[in-house]
Structure 1
Amino acid sequence: MDQKAAEWPRKTRDLHNHHMDSTIWDKLDFRDDDIVIATYAKSGTTWVQQIVGQLLFQGAPDVAVAEMSPWLDLRVPPQDVKLEAVEAQRHRRFLKTHLPVDALTFSPKAKYLYIGRDGRDVVWSLYNHHVQANEYWYQALNDTPGRVGPPIARPPSDICQYFNEWLDRDGLPFWSFWENIRSWWTIRQLPNLMLLHFADLKADLPGQIRRIATFLEIPIDERRWPSIVEHCSFDYMKANARFSAPAGGIFWEGGAPTFVHKGTNGRWREVLSAADSRRYEEAARRELGDACAHWLASGEIVTETEPLPVVRPLAASSGTSATTISV
């Protein structure tokens, strides 16, 4: 799609909760080469921030992506502190958001990367993030002035209960999963948006890094290519988690390595009942449509007129009782 012919998204609302304040995007002075990395959450956000940071700084070992690439719509620290820090950056900026498109000020000049991941994998990662959060995390989210809506509560000890509450109440206790996915999928044809998928990053990390570099128009110094790939591996990120975990990991029990957890898919398969897994798949098709639901599950994009490939059902526990995880 030609940029001149594109119909650009417009912000139509603000989103506030214990985590978010979308009004900060109204105050950002966009630069023409800005990069915005977007996800629902726990879908590979930090991974893609690491990739972009490594491309921009050509494989440097100490790129502090958590500091350089802030989650702009997070309520803390205060907006003026965050905006001042972002405005002072002299490198090409790469910012992070978890907003749906209609709550985000959208720049036709910026480049956007949106990462999808099967919602069941999202919840398993989200649960670890939530259950390992310490008192500092709750204080920052619940007690910082300006919170709109109820505080975030501690999670149940049963991960299946957590999943079903998240599914039945569309993202509880965080924010809507379906509207986030749907809003970005709807604008997938825009020339300054690239869709990525967690499964593709797992399957072919070097290929996906080159794809991202091409989209962002970042030339690669081939002498630095081995370092770039190595520094984007999960093992490297886990060993150097202090560079990617917010505030160095102080908000989680066990510190930064807890934030950079496993980086795997499918942990739900031996835990979630077959009935609950089917409920999720039915909800995905109902909320997103067949083509988007297929992309979210597999990373494969098909046109609305193409027949969907036959996909072998993913294994899930056939039991009906929930599995409890002690925490």
Structure 2
Amino acid sequence: MASPDEEPTLQRLDVKFNVVPETLESPFKEHFPVFSKGLVQGEPGGFVFHPHYARNADKIYNMKIRPDDVWIRTFPRSGTTWTSELAWLIMNDCDFEGAAKVGLPIRSPNLDANYINHWDKFAAEGSFDKMDIITIDEIEKMPSPRVLKCHLPFYLLPPNLLDTAKVIYVARNPKDAIVSLFYFHKLVNLCTYTGDLEQFVDFFLENKVLWTPYFGTVLDAWGKRSHPNLLIIFYEDMKKDIRAQIRRISAFLNKPVTEEQIEKLVDHVRVDKFAKNESVNYAKEIKAGVGKDDPTNTFVRKGQTGDWKNHFSPELNQKIDAWIEKNLAGTDLKFVTELDQQELPHYFIH
């Protein structure tokens, strides 16, 4: 038996990560110059991420789950910020004042944000100022209830997560998710992409982009949708009727909200307010050098369902349709890619 002073033995994650050969070659290395050592892919599962994550995967896999935890899980750019802000406020009795004082990355940290690239390396080189990045060790010390978010599939997370804590999974149609992730790679210096959208789509469909494969994460959650501790929400449903989804989240978390609080929450996530709210818009991080100071490409974008129509050529759309059809074959998962009416289009969200 280990003494109290000894470090607990980590349970090994039964996934082996190897470098994706094509990410060390052209054209990838020219289009993604920051990934000089390429990306790695885990097997089984096929999850693609930065090598720095592979060296720390066991640390996340061995996190201690608390019964009052709330985990927000998404594929990137699928409503992560929107949902984690709403969940944090619901769990904290709509403390808007407290939310304004502490940034969302601190209140609701992202587990895999540390591993998009190597933060310490970039800070040491002076690429951006050292910031308060919440590490896994610090997350372990956070007071309860914790509202945590991540983009990892279930099989890379602690095995007892779903049986112990509440998990909200937000799914967004892949067409709009691709467009938004493209702009994210154009904005964030840790994963800089220099090519055009059409080339990005090719990398994405071939699983040579961070967090891919898309369907590996989404179908992983969809297959567990009957679990009582899992709530699956569609981004498009939030766009159609945000009030109904707030009520679903409230009921799922066993944290009642009044009609007055619902209206305050709805007003809080107006895109014009979010764009100016430095506790959620990552302005501090972008100013520190993590992102490019570009008013035409900000962390808070349009968030419109169907915006892909403004970006995809007919040929590119046909290619993506075939990819979607192939991956959804044999499943009952369906996506809405267009909405006839979107409630108050000034609602963002990513």
Superposition TM-score tier, normalisation by shorter sequence: 0.7 to 0.9
> Mean alpha-carbon deviation: is it higher for 246-255 or for 67-76?
246-255
1:17 counterpart = 2:49: yes
Structure 1 gap ranges (5+): 1-9, 139-151, 300-310, 313-327
Distance 2:294 2:139 in 1: 25
1:109 counterpart = 2:144: no
> Mean alpha-carbon deviation: is it higher for 38-47 or for 220-229?
220-229
> Mean alpha-carbon deviation: is it higher for 12-21 or for 181-190?
12-21
Tell me what 1:170 maps to.
207
Tell me what 2:240 maps to.
203
Structure 2 gap ranges (5+): 1-11, 17-41, 43-47, 121-132, 341-350
Q: Which amino acid aligns with 1:24?
A: K
1:56 counterpart = 2:91: yes
Contact 1:43-1:115 at 8 Å conserved across structures: yes
Q: Which amino acid aligns with 2:271?
A: F
Task: Indicate which of 93, 111, 124 corresponds to 1:72.
Answer: 111
> Mean alpha-carbon deviation: is it higher for 25-34 or for 35-44?
25-34
Provide runs of 4+ in structure 1 moved above 4 Å: 290-293
What is the 5 A alignment of 1:243-282?
243-245=280-282, 248-249=285-286, 250=288, 251-254=290-293, 258-282=298-322
Task: Indicate which of 60, 66, 80 corresponds to 1:31.
Answer: 66
Q: Deviations over 1:94-131 (max 9, x none)?
A: 11111112212142020111111111101111111111
Q: Are residues 225 and 271 of structure 1, via their aligned partners in 2, closer, same or farther at CA, if it must alter by over 3 Å?
A: closer
Distance 2:245 2:236 in 1: 11
Q: Are residues 265 and 36 of structure 1, via their aligned partners in 2, closer, same or farther at CA, if it must alter by over 3 Å?
A: same
Distance 2:328 2:57 in 1: 24
What is the 5 A alignment of 1:148-159?
152=191, 154-156=193-195, 158-159=196-197
Q: Are residues 103 and 159 of structure 1, via their aligned partners in 2, closer, same or farther at CA, if it must alter by over 3 Å?
A: same
- The alignment's C-alpha RMSD in Å is 3.0
Q: Are residues 73 and 24 of structure 1, via their aligned partners in 2, closer, same or farther at CA, if it must alter by over 3 Å?
A: farther
Contact 1:285-1:293 at 8 Å conserved across structures: no
Contact 1:39-1:116 at 8 Å conserved across structures: yes
Contact 1:45-1:115 at 8 Å conserved across structures: yes
Tell me what 1:324 maps to.
none
Per-residue deviation at 1:73?
A: 2.8
> Mean alpha-carbon deviation: is it higher for 272-281 or for 206-215?
272-281
Per-residue deviation at 1:37?
A: 0.7
The TM-score, its normalising length taken from structure 1, stands at: 0.73
Distance 1:235 1:210 in 2: 23
Distance 2:165 2:210 in 1: 31
Q: Are residues 293 and 273 of structure 1, via their aligned partners in 2, closer, same or farther at CA, if it must alter by over 3 Å?
A: farther
Identity of matched residues, %: 24
Distance 1:101 1:276 in 2: 31
Contact 2:282-2:299 at 8 Å conserved across structures: yes
What is the 5 A alignment of 1:124-139?
124-133=179-188, 137-138=189-190
Q: Deviations over 1:156-209 (max 9, x none)?
A: 0x2122223312x13525421121112111111111111111111111111111
Per-residue deviation at 1:38?
A: 0.7
Q: Between Structure 1 and Structure 2, how many residues are aligned? A: 272
Tell me what 2:344 maps to.
none
Distance 1:230 1:23 in 2: 40
Distance 1:246 1:98 in 2: 21
Distance 1:128 1:104 in 2: 27
Distance 1:54 1:209 in 2: 11
Secondary structure of 1:283 counterpart: helix
